Amino acid sequence: MPVEICAGIDIGGTNTAFAFVDLKGQIVYKDSIPTGKETQPQDLVDRVCEKISAQLSAHKNDYSLVGIGIGAPNGNYFNGTIEFAPNLSWRGIIPIAKYFSDRMSVPAYLTNDANAAALGEMFFGAAKGVKDFIFVTLGTGLGSGIVCNGEMIYGHDGFAGELGHTIVVQHGRQCGCGRRGCLEQYCSATGLVKTYLEILTSANPENPILANKELIDSKFIYEKAMGGDEDAFYAFNYTGEMLGFALANSVAYTSPKAIFLFGGLASAGELLFNPTILSFDKNILNIYKNKVSILPSALPENDAALLGTASLAWNELQRKK
Amino acid sequence: MPVEICAGIDIGGTNTAFAFVDLKGQIVYKDSIPTGKETQPQDLVDRVCEKISAQLSAHKNDYSLVGIGIGAPNGNYFNGTIEFAPNLSWRGIIPIAKYFSDRMSVPAYLTNDANAAALGEMFFGAAKGVKDFIFVTLGTGLGSGIVCNGEMIYGHDGFAGELGHTIVVQHGRQCGCGRRGCLEQYCSATGLVKTYLEILTSANPENPILANKELIDSKFIYEKAMGGDEDAFYAFNYTGEMLGFALANSVAYTSPKAIFLFGGLASAGELLFNPTILSFDKNILNIYKNKVSILPSALPENDAALLGTASLAWNELQRKK
């Protein structure tokens, strides 16, 4: 008997990665191709499906494809459409789930990257068996997925869970969304760099490091902090302080059992977790005290998007049973 | 055939009100008794059940009791227990749902007042057919209930939806919860009075009104504002500005279709709604723009708690079908 697998497809601005994932979370095949610019979305669907189909034909006795999960920026769960995604070259509203479903003759589901990763955590990661949690990705920006009573919260329009764009500082840092003071301007790789530059500039605007700002990224700051640099350490501290504050507020919405942190910044470990937890404990409402754990994600960073998108399909298929 | 009814029981610090409500939201009987101090919780249960039982006996052919919904401060939905409620004289953890259920031989359910009212709005009010909404009560404090995909969000511990205790101003006004800057210190009757007093004091600390601060409540400020008093008008303005800001943030969590405002302050109408909606539109993330309505509750203020608690029971009974 061939093993049932779902395909996870992660569409990014540069590359589109895809994988076959079984119900245990084993990745039995993975590959990626350039997303391509200035082309029709159907071209991408064609190129991905050719690869997938070839793999399925070559392993007829091994795998049977039962569903497809897709992750994409501005992916709308309800319609299966990518809507005006700023990082992709296609304009307007693209019915991407339908394209894949028609082509492969299995159900296809779409959501955004952070929601997909949250489902991955629930199916194959540290959130197994946790019915109420918040998943936060700390990358270039801050993405999130909220799960309540075992169900992903999509909201009425499919766009729930944008914690990165809650305003934490009125009249604060300028955000790409056009507003000011959004959480992701403080708690993300971008935010960490801004904080570090602010600290350096306010201490000494002539600091030679500032002449080469483009060299300063979150990895640079991490290494500085690990080497004992106080400014870098303080930048992490401030990032954690803001994150703990924001997460304490978020608990008052859905009262999760755990909050999982994922992504580059989360892998800084104690440098980020210590100040985050300290600030979280300080800012949380009494009735929630000592009930909520802030934990690192257990998803492997490189495969999280693929495990997440495949989980989306597995989740939908299991709900239907 | 007798009509099926649920009893709604609203336990407050001073009085306990109760009613019979049919599935159409008709209140066919209501009454209330003093909650009483220094007594055992069972005494209250006895006194309520005597009244209820007498009514049922006298109307055997008219009504048949099928469930009980209870609203109480610090009411835990999952356990049916009132936990360390500051406004009630009973200590510790009180299994109030079990007491009522045992006594009346029907299922009994418990939640807090705001969640119950949110369910009332969903069953009998303006949220009929709305699957994703946030319900906000603006009374002495600010309570809230969050509904996603037609389900009340209780969180892992039964205490989700405490929007009144999200911190909106770091190092802001002292809150009764021990922290500073909670939303309810700005957006509630209490918050409005604080704002008004701040405005008066900063304009003229010798203002004779300030000699009789105890006369200043939200009704006083409302009447002043309606009479053209600029300070009172500005106090409402600031309250709405803060509320609109906080609600815009709250949309990024669960992406509701509508937000319903209930309670004394909400009945100030345009005085509160205009600045709230203005600030909400200004502060909301682009992808949510023009999708979310801020609306007045359609529940009659005096019966909201009774309709809400009865809805809790109706909701649970219907979910079981």
Could you please report the per-residue DSSP string of A273-302? HHHHHHHHHHHS-GGGTTT-EEEE--S-GG
Q: What integer pLDDT is reported at residue B321 of this predicted model?
A: 74
Q: What integer pLDDT is reported at residue A86 of this predicted model?
A: 72
Q: What is the pLDDT averaged over residues A213-222?
A: 94
Residue A155: list chain B partners with CB under 8 A: 132, 148, 254-256
Pick from B148, B250, B283: which is nearest to A153 by CB? B148
Please indicate, yes or no, if residue A278 is contained in any of the structural domains.
yes
Residue of B73 and B311 predicted with greater confidence: B311
Are residues B196 and B79 part of one domain?
no
Say yes or no to pLDDT of B233 above 80: yes
* Residue with token string 């049916």: B80
**pLDDT digit string (tens) for A91-100?**
889 999 999 9
Are residues A289 and A143 part of one domain?
yes
Q: B286 and A177: CB-CB below 8 Å?
A: yes
Q: Provide the CATH number for the domain around residue B271.
A: 3.30.420.40
User: Number of CB pairs < 8 Å for A and B?
Assistant: 129
Q: Cα–Cα distance between B24 and B118 in angstroms, integer? A: 16
Are residues B83 and B28 part of one domain?
yes
Please indicate, yes or no, if residue B125 is contained in any of the structural domains.
no
Distance from CA of B149 to the nearest CA of A (A): 7
Are residues A136 and A101 part of one domain?
no
Residue A117 CB contacts under 8 Å (≥ 6 apart), including other chains: A71, A135, A137, A143, A145, A262, A297, A299, A304, A305, A308
Distance from CA of B60 to the nearest CA of A (A): 39
Mean pLDDT of chain A: 94
Mutate to test the interface with A, among B79, B84, B136, B285 (most CBs of A within 10 A): B285
The count of structural domains within chain A is: 2
Mapping DSSP to helix (H, G, I), strand (E, B) and coil, where does residue A10 land? strand
Are residues A57 and A184 part of one domain?
no
- Kindly indicate the confidence band of residue A310, based on its pLDDT and cuts at 50, 70 and 90: very high
DSSP label at B269?
Answer: T
Q: A156 and B288: CB-CB below 8 Å?
A: no
Q: Cα–Cα distance between A156 and B255 in angstroms, integer? A: 6
**pLDDT digit string (tens) for A281-295?**
999 999 999 999 999
Are residues A38 and A18 part of one domain?
yes
Q: B253 and A148: CB-CB below 8 Å?
A: no
Which residue range forms the structural domain that includes residue A40? 3-120+302-320
Say yes or no to pLDDT of A300 above 80: yes
Residue A158: list chain B partners with CB under 8 A: 255
Q: What integer pLDDT is reported at residue B87 of this predicted model?
A: 74
Q: What is the pLDDT averaged over residues A184-196?
A: 97
Please indicate, yes or no, if residue B287 is contained in any of the structural domains.
yes
Nearest to B53 by CA among B121, B99, B104: B104
Q: B254 and A254: CB-CB below 8 Å?
A: yes
Are residues B281 and B240 part of one domain?
yes
Q: Which two tokens stand for residue A262?
A: 């994922």
Which strand (E) or helix (H) includes residue B276? Answer: helix B270-283
Nearest to B156 by CA among A124, A273, A259, A40: A259
Pick from B148, B157, B291: which is nearest to A255 by CB? B157
Residue A131: list chain B partners with CB under 8 A: 156
> A16 and A48 in contact (C-beta within 8 Å)?
yes
Residue A250: list chain B partners with CB under 8 A: 253
Residue B148: list chain A partners with CB under 8 A: 148, 153, 155, 160
Distance from CA of B263 to the nearest CA of A (A): 20
Pick from B160, B248, B285: which is nearest to A253 by CB? B160
Are residues A181 and A80 part of one domain?
no
Which strand (E) or helix (H) includes residue A240? Answer: helix A230-254
Q: What integer pLDDT is reported at residue B38 of this predicted model?
A: 63
Residue A160: list chain B partners with CB under 8 A: 148, 252-255
**Any idea what the Cα angle at residue B55 is, between residues B54 and B60, rounded to 5°?**
100
Q: What integer pLDDT is reported at residue B237 of this predicted model?
A: 98
* Residue with token string 């990763």: A117
| Dihedral of the alpha carbons of B315, B157, B72, B294, in degrees to the nearest 10 | -60
> A32 and A16 in contact (C-beta within 8 Å)?
yes
| Beta strand B75-76 pairing with B133-138 | unpaired
Say yes or no to pLDDT of B319 above 90: no
Using CA of residue A163, residue B260, residue B144, residue A133, what is the dihedral sign?
A: negative
Q: What is the pLDDT averaged over residues B152-169?
A: 95
**pLDDT digit string (tens) for B250-309?**
999 999 999 999 999 999 999 999 999 999 999 999 999 999 999 999 999 899 999 999
Q: A248 and B148: CB-CB below 8 Å?
A: no
Q: Which DSSP string corresponds to A33-80? A: EE--SSS-HHHHHHHHHHHHHHHHHHTTTTEEEEEEEEE-TTEETTTT
Q: Which residues sit opposite A111 in a β-bridge?
A: A71
Residue A85: list chain B partners with CB under 8 A: none
Using CA of residue B152, residue B156, residue B162, residue B168, what is the dihedral sign?
A: negative
Please indicate, yes or no, if residue B53 is contained in any of the structural domains.
yes
Residue B288: list chain A partners with CB under 8 A: 157, 159
Residue B167: list chain A partners with CB under 8 A: 245, 248-249, 283
**pLDDT digit string (tens) for A14-63?**
899 999 999 999 999 999 999 987 678 999 999 999 999 999 999 999 99
Are residues B140 and B110 part of one domain?
no
Q: What is the pLDDT averaged over residues B30-38?
A: 88
Nearest to B67 by CA among B312, B252, B284: B312
Please indicate, yes or no, if residue A286 is contained in any of the structural domains.
yes
Residue B279: list chain A partners with CB under 8 A: none
Report pTM.
0.94
What percent of chain B has pLDDT above 90? 87
Are residues A100 and A15 part of one domain?
yes
Distance from CA of B162 to the nearest CA of A (A): 5
Q: What is the pLDDT averaged over residues B34-39?
A: 80
**pLDDT digit string (tens) for B50-87?**
999 999 999 999 999 999 999 998 889 999 999 877 77
Are residues B137 and B110 part of one domain?
no
Please indicate, yes or no, if residue A125 is contained in any of the structural domains.
no
Say yes or no to pLDDT of B13 above 90: no
Pick from A131, A156, A254: which is nearest to B255 by CB? A156
Mutate to test the interface with A, among B84, B170, B184, B255 (most CBs of A within 10 A): B255
Q: What is the pLDDT averaged over residues A206-229?
A: 94
**Smallest CA–CA distance from B253 into chain A, residue:** A161
Residue B106, class by beta-carbon neighbours within 10 Å (0-12 exposed, 13-18 middle, 19+ buried)? middle
Residues belonging to chain B with any Cβ–Cβ distance to chain A shorter than 8 Å: 74, 131-132, 146, 148-149, 151, 153-163, 165-167, 170, 177-179, 245, 248-250, 252-257, 283, 285-288, 291
Please indicate, yes or no, if residue B144 is contained in any of the structural domains.
yes
Say yes or no to pLDDT of A321 above 80: no
Mutate to test the interface with A, among B83, B254, B280 (most CBs of A within 10 A): B254
**pLDDT digit string (tens) for B15-25?**
999 999 999 99
Nearest to A254 by CA among B134, B179, B108: B134
Pick from B132, B149, B166: which is nearest to A252 by CB? B166
Are residues A227 and A116 part of one domain?
no
Report the 3 state secondary structure along A77-115.
CCCCEEECCCCCCCCCEECHHHHHHHHHCCCEEEECHHH
Please indicate, yes or no, if residue B289 is contained in any of the structural domains.
yes
